[in-house]
Amino acid sequence: MTAVEVDDDIVILDMGLDMEEVVQEEDELEQMSTKESFESGTIPDDGIIHEQRDKVKAIVIGHGHLDHIGALPKLAGAYDCPIIATPYTMKIANQRIDEDRKEVRNDQVVLRGGDRYWLSNSLEVEFIHVTHSIPHSVMTVLHTPEGTLLYSLDFRFDEEPVLGVPSDYERIRRLSREPVKALIGDSTRVEMQGGAETESMVREMIRHRLERLHDSKGALIFSTFSSHIERLNALLQVNKGRRKVAFLGRSLKDYAKLAEELDLIDLQDVHILSYYDEVSHFLKRTASVRDEWLLVCTGNQGEPGSVLRRLAEGEYPMQIREGDHILFSSTVIPTLLNQYNRQQLEQKLKRQGAVLHRDLHVSGHARREDTRRLIRMVNPMTIIPAHGTLQMEASYAALAQEEGYRLNETIFLSEDGNCLEL
């Protein structure tokens, strides 16, 4: 969550969750009060902004991942301003708000990539379409009397997306004429060398793997991020109806059903089950004909309570056995807890005889050369690395130095709670 203040106006960019803290919480986040969420560290401490809440003109959300949108039910209702987001992002926001049952009555403004909207007499917000790992992702541009701010969390440059079109490179390049006073940059994968691989490449990787496994007598169990609608589309395309498909898990159902409402995915031949009892009943019927099914499960990070974790721990009538294949179309989010959970999951699956297929994935975040490409396209006056550990942000700063920027002059490192004045 970032707040940008210009004169007497404030704009909030994103309102997300600390996902590592969320995973550690035993209680469902929806059942926690705002105070309990603060104390647990799952939501941002917005105290400084809240003291000036009359200045806040908008809450602008760039895409629907929970680390960008998940705190809306807890915090947004305290601000008398609109929530601005793209269509799919707004659907996810409303679902989260409904589930949390908090009083959030903010006006809602739905924009698409390419749209602009005046927040006040002096501030205008613009969305620029970019590719990421969830539909309707955008970079947020804030046009101010002091110059333009570009908030580029999260993006990657994918020339061959499976869903939608490539990023709006032409508009990004034109920003350099304005000029861009500050670029807030995504440092999550900047340490990875090279440029982004394409989602079409992942589709071919999955296709080749399934070609080899379709006729096996074991279960085929596939796990990816539930919000990765593009990846789920790719899986359905390459399966070509050879196996019946089931989506198992609450988050898969939620994200996929909302995407279907916007014609982003076709689920007419997909069985969708979410709660424990219905998943358990389905797997009991499926166990004896496992070679007829392609099961898409939540739990690629090894999260407690996910379908794949429960399968590995023997909590369902269907047991993992020798000859079953588990396909991970994801990366492990680089936190100690996620790495531990995933390691434990893999060990349990292997002990039961399953064959694991890893790394059928490319990241939704820009790698080093795509980050360099963005800097050169935009030519910002100031760079502020964000969205990563201090080490990741330092790597971004080192890249910016290669492009001629100077630390503490035109590159600034910050951390949660700090205020940076330009």
**125 token code pair:** 């917000």
pLDDT in tens, 3-23: 999 999 999 999 999 877 776
| Nearest Cα to Cα of residue 218 among 187, 239, 201, 243 | 243
What is the DSSP secondary-structure string of 286-304? HGGGGGGEEEEES-TT--T
Among 134, 216, 135, 154, CA closest to 13: 154
What is the pLDDT at residue 20?
74
Write the burial class of residue 420 (CB in 10 Å: 0-12 exposed, 13-18 middle, 19+ buried): exposed
Give the model's pLDDT for residue 313.
95
Q: What is the pLDDT of residue 56?
A: 97
Residues β-bridged to residue 124:
118, 143
Check: CB of residue 103 under 8 Å from CB of residue 76: no
Question: From edge to edge, which strands make up the β-sheet containing 138-144?
Answer: 116-118, 124-129, 138-144, 147-151, 180-186, 383-386
| pLDDT averaged over every residue in the chain | 94
Q: Give the C-alpha separation, 166 to 178, whole Å.
A: 23
Q: Edge-to-edge strand order for the sheet containing 270-273? A: 270-273, 244-248, 293-297, 220-224, 325-329, 355-357
38-82 pLDDT tens trace? 888 889 999 999 999 999 999 999 999 999 999 999 999 999 999
What element of type H or E holds 397?
helix 390-402
Please give the Cα distance from 127 to 116 (Å, whole number): 7
- Which domains are present in the chain? 2-195+364-402 (3.60.15.10), 199-357 (3.40.50.10710)
- How high is the pLDDT of residue 417? 87
The whole-number pLDDT of residue 412 equals 97
Pick the closest to residue 378 from 158, 153, 148, 130 (CA basis). Answer: 148
* pTM of the predicted model over 0.85: yes
From the list 165, 168, 221, 150, the residue with the least C-alpha distance to 198 is 165
Q: For residue 24, what pLDDT is reported?
A: 64
Give the whole-angstrom CA distance, residue 368 versus residue 420. 25
97: which residues sit within 8 A by CB, 6+ positions away? 72, 73, 76, 104
CB–CB of 264/86 below 8 Å? no
Query: Is 221 in a helix, a strand, or coil?
Result: strand
Amino acid at 89: T
How buried is 407 (Cβ within 10 angstroms: 0-12 exposed, 13-18 middle, 19+ buried)? Answer: middle
Mapped onto helix, strand or coil, the DSSP state of residue 147 is strand
User: What's the pLDDT score for residue 28?
Assistant: 72
The reported pLDDT for the residue numbered 388 is 87
Residues in the chain where the model's pLDDT stays below 70:
23-27
